[in-house]
A and B are shown apart, each in its own frame.
Chain A
Amino acid sequence: MALRSNVHEPIAMGDDPLRLTGQRLPRWAPLASVVAGVVIGLAVQITGITVVGLAPAVMAVLAFLVIYTTWTLAVEGRRHAVDRLATALIYSAATLALVPLVWILITVVVQGISVLSPQFLFVDTMRNVNPRAAGGGVAHAVLGTVQQVGIATLISVPVGLLTAIYLSEYGRGRLARSINFFVDVMTGIPSIVAGMFIYTFWILTLGFPQSGFAAALALTILMIPVVVRSAEEMLRIVPNELREGALALGIPKYRVILKVVLPTAISGIITGVMLAIARVTGETAPLLLTTFLAQDVNWNAFDGSQASLPTFIWDQIARGTQSSLDRAWAGALALILIVLTFYATARILASRYAPKER
């Protein structure tokens, strides 16, 4: 006990005592600096006085950074000032990245919510609706999007997953290298090129009609490389010790992959697949070339034009009236809702299959 009372005493080192404690900023300092920055931003907004023509928001951020850093420098010293400046920059950058995202979401919800209804989503189509007047719905487009993306997923997930398994578990030498190369090239294909390819190959050369299936083929070209890359990454981070442990038990390699490697990586693979689905769900250009537009429900994905949400939005914006713009916003909201549903499903599935500790 006698020893303990000395713990918080400074430790003497010769004449210069080594101090373990120092002046710290109060805990409300970051908040106060943010408030000061906002106040300066508002002042710039109201008075119109600014430096080299910078916008009020930029001035607010700069003022916050300067106040916060100099305050820390004065009280805590240089090392802490650098630390807090870096922290503030990181938080500012993260906030900045969120701004457009939140902005888009809010705009789409505000603009689209008035027209959006279950009736609009699942019952009404644009059949016999004057495209420049109010009314109608996106049921035909929702059906088309679900069918096209569904077919594309059914084709590209098995192909992509098997390719990823080949690359991570078997692939060596020239074949693996060339597959790797082509997957990289495919990742960079612009979506309109994928659409043009299916248009010239499937529709012009082979003579198949424009259809939802042709659109799905174009989406497949875009989807496969994304699925391959994300699944391969997930398979590669499965520790080699697990493969060896399973092989050493006398388990055949294919069952090691099926029962040990895949289950370990499955939650990441699901997330990757869902992100790939979300990415192609919003594609417009390849759909215009392969299935074009339709104003009515077409259940048959293998024959005739089929609507889809992205092409619906494109079509409605082009009509240029207020009613058609409202419909376009509502269609955009529907598209976001579908993608969000995919994403939420992915998160739930991923957490269900994730390896657990307890």
Chain B
Amino acid sequence: MSSALDLITRVRGVRGAMLVSADDGIVVAEQLMEGIKGGAVAALAASLAGRLRRAMEAAGTGTSVFWHLQAEQGALLVVPGANSPGDGGILVVAVTEPDVNIGLVRLELLRVAETVV
């Protein structure tokens, strides 16, 4: 699983990547730069993913396949695995610098999601 995360962290501007259990927000695997609180971020990412999934399903857009929290100094990018959350699935998560190539990270997240889920 750690080697799968290499696909993400090798992209320039990625500060770390994690696999997170969608149901309980626990870290399954991580490669994070020092200073990032993986456990706490995982819990919040899983909670956000759950709310977003329910809202999107209610809105009729279907389950989310990728989401992206943009902030002043970076971003959190998440690809929910095929059967997550709410079904024991995995979230593939990346933390990035602000000037990262989002499209490239998205592709790598999707690739990792296919291999680990």
Whether A and B are associated in the same complex: the answer reads no
